Amino acid sequence: MSQIVTLQLPDDVMEQVVKAATSSGHSVQDTLQTWISPKAKTIDTMTMLQEANELPIYTPLGGEQTAQELLEYGQRLKRERDSHQDHS
């Protein structure tokens, strides 16, 4: 199942995407999908989320505040688990 997402990318990244799309004859959307799909299948998302400096939350139906609270709760649980493992 496919879903539509909105990305906010830095200008320099968009320039690279547009150059690649133009040179390959593909759309920007297809180019991004080609770049993201293989990486998304292999990346450790928990590590990525923990290492992200800033990862804004957007939900298509609203509820960003609830999503942020759930994220913070999950981060607290992980810190607690890590703390318990360190003391074991």
Predicted local distance difference test score (pLDDT) of residue 8: 87
Predicted local distance difference test score (pLDDT) of residue 66: 83
Predicted local distance difference test score (pLDDT) of residue 68: 81
Predicted local distance difference test score (pLDDT) of residue 18: 95
**How is residue 87 annotated by DSSP?**
H
Q: Determine the structural domain holding residue 13 and report its residue range.
A: 8-42
pTM of the model: 0.47
Predicted local distance difference test score (pLDDT) of residue 21: 95
Tell whether 59 and 85 lie within a shared domain: yes
1, part of any domain = no
64, part of any domain = yes
Ranges of H-type helices in 25-63? 28-42, 45-51
Per-10-residue mean pLDDT for the chain, 88 residues long? 83 93 94 86 74 68 80 90 81
Q: What share of the chain is helix, strand, coil (3-state, %, to 5)?
A: 70, 0, 30
Alpha carbon of residue 28 to chain centroid: 18
Which tokens sit at 41? Answer: 């299948």
73, part of any domain = yes
